[in-house]
Amino acid sequence: MTGQNLEDYWFDIMQRDWNIKELNFVLEGESVWREKDWRPESMLGRTERDLRNHMKNVIDRIKSIENVDRLSESGWKVAEKGYAVAVCLHPDKIEILWREVDLSDIVERG
């Protein structure tokens, strides 16, 4: 499992296995600390866009490493869905909303 904190409160989580060439879980998220900043629908929209862009970059990297023109020629199995997550850390609770994201169009074009 890999995870990386990105600018502000963005994060991503990816589960992959280089030995058997599988990328089988991807998630992008954004969190806020203050309730006044809690805008879950716009946060989910941003994380979904970021997830789709991230997957395009990952597929391009796989093709470059494997020296192939199409993902299907690489031998890699890549997840066709991922998750966008919005998190708000309230003083007395944590609120988490998520959306499943269809990535099959990106994988098929890869």
Mean pLDDT of the chain: 86
Q: Look at residue 2 in the predicted model and tell me its pLDDT.
A: 42
Total Cβ atoms within 10 A of residue 108: 11
Tokens of 50: 């970021």
pLDDT, mean of residues 86-102? 91
8 A C-beta contact, residue 70 and residue 110: yes
2 versus 82: the higher-pLDDT residue is 82
**pTM (predicted TM-score):** 0.82
Tokens of 94: 């944590």
Q: Look at residue 49 in the predicted model and tell me its pLDDT.
A: 92
d(CA 16, CA 32): 27
Q: Look at residue 10 in the predicted model and tell me its pLDDT.
A: 65
pLDDT tens-digit series, residues 26-66:
888 888 888 888 888 999 999 999 999 989 998 999 999 99
